[in-house]
Structure 1
Amino acid sequence: MATPNEPKQDRSRATRQRLLEATIDCLAEMGWAAATVAVVAERAGVSRGAAQHHFPTREDLITAALEYMFETRMAQSKSEATALGEVAEGVGRTQAVVTSLVESYTSPLFKAALQVWTHAAADPVLRERILPMEARFGRVSHRMAVEALGVDDTDPVTHHLVQATLDLARGLGLADVLTDDSLRRKEIVQQWAATLHTALHARA
């Protein structure tokens, strides 16, 4: 919480961050319909007027929240990549990478983004705003997966294997939305990691 002596710019930045985090929480926990500016403002502990000062429309708030999700996920990926550097090469490392990718799609960030994607499917204006962001997220996610796996993405088969891994991760994330799918997901991750490791190293 900002204090009265905190510089105005810092207080403004802190308020903006609270609003973005509250938006993600509302989307993930209550869904699209409940994530209104008024509800988000109340959850963030700020007035509706203050919320609209930062984000004049709900679309502005949602778009900014998606950008914040992207930046947060990329920061998490970099931290995970650093931790993976301590894992020895081999199938164990491949499994660690696949596990990390899959688990990122079972987080509140993914559940919040899913609410936006579902609504955007029927809202051309919102879809137009988020498609470039999602395309950028896809490119960066693919590049980071390639770097974590330590493979040559110029090979078309390797490229498709990495993309298939990301698509699998997204699908397993969807399967986890309604029920706890963790046990089945763990078995699939183990099997796919072994298959992926063999396929990638056969290419190498």
Structure 2
Amino acid sequence: MSRGAAQHHFRTREDLVTAAVEYLGEVQVTQLREQAEELPAGESRIETVVDMLLNLYTGPMFRAALHLWIAASTDEGLRAVLVPLEARVGREAHRVAVELLGVAETQGGVREMVQATLDLARGLGLANLLSDDTRRRAKIIRQWARVLGSALPEPGSAEERPNERETTGVAR
């Protein structure tokens, strides 16, 4: 897009960044949902979901988001716009991950394990920036799927606890 076209559609740089982050988030969630339609049932589902989530942070969408984060780290105006948007995108990624894993956040430890998965994914995405980390990441995916499989309650199990936000009044 030319600078003139961008200025025609977006009055400020912050408007452009807002639209870009919203678009990146929508594309990533759409990609996850499309892949989810072909998820297997049973134990192999966890490894497939982990693979989907960890590889979500290795593509061009993650690289674009990373460039925005870096710019926002030194630009207060950009940071003020980006932080709430990224929080919203992060909550949506978390929600989709919970859904794909077939568990409920009211079950003990689910919130933390899902967040650890997303944090691991971002870290592996960074590791993949300068060199292809596919082989090492595949081993990590298999091992993390085993960890999740043993740590997460079975989908639909009765092991539940009150939601942390309800008991502590703390939002994510």
**TM-score, normalised to structure 2's length?**
0.85
Give the corresponding residue for 1:171.
Answer: 123
Which residue, 93, 99, 112 being the options, matches 1:141? 93
Mapping 1:20-35, distance limit 5 Å: none
Letter in 1 for 2:66: L
Give the corresponding residue for 2:163.
Answer: none
Distance 1:177 1:189 in 2: 18
Give the corresponding residue for 1:198.
Answer: 150
Kindly indicate whether residue 61 of structure 2 is the aligned counterpart of residue 89 of structure 1.
no
Letter in 2 for 1:125: G
Q: Is the 8 A contact 2:98 2:104 kept in 1?
A: yes
Distance 2:153 2:4 in 1: 57
SS of the aligned residue for 2:105 comes to coil
Cα shift at 1:181: 0.7
Cα shift at 1:71: 1.2
Q: How many residues align?
A: 156
Kindly indicate whether residue 57 of structure 2 is the aligned counterpart of residue 102 of structure 1.
no
Aligned pair in 2 of structure 1 residues 50, 201: CA closer, same or farther (>3 Å)? Answer: closer
Distance 1:165 1:106 in 2: 14
SS of the aligned residue for 1:136 comes to helix
Mapping 1:1-204, distance limit 5 Å: 19=1, 41=2, 48-84=3-39, 87-90=40-43, 92-201=44-153, 204=157
Distance 2:131 2:139 in 1: 16
Cα shift at 1:59: 3.0
Q: Which runs of 5+ in 1 are unaligned?
A: 1-18, 20-40, 42-47
Distance 2:6 2:87 in 1: 28
Cα shift at 1:202: 7.2
1:152-200 superposed Cα distances (whole Å, 9 cap, x missing partner): 2112412111111111111100100111111111101101101110111
1:56-114 superposed Cα distances (whole Å, 9 cap, x missing partner): 33332222111111111111121122221xx0211x11000000001110010000000
1:28-81 superposed Cα distances (whole Å, 9 cap, x missing partner): xxxxxxxxxxxxx1xxxxxx3332111233332222111111111111121122
Deviation larger for 115-124 or 55-64: 55-64
**TM-score, normalised to structure 1's length?**
0.72
Q: Which has the higher contact order (CA 8 A, sep 6+)?
A: 2
Deviation larger for 59-68 or 156-165: 59-68
Distance 2:147 2:89 in 1: 26
% identical equivalent positions? 51
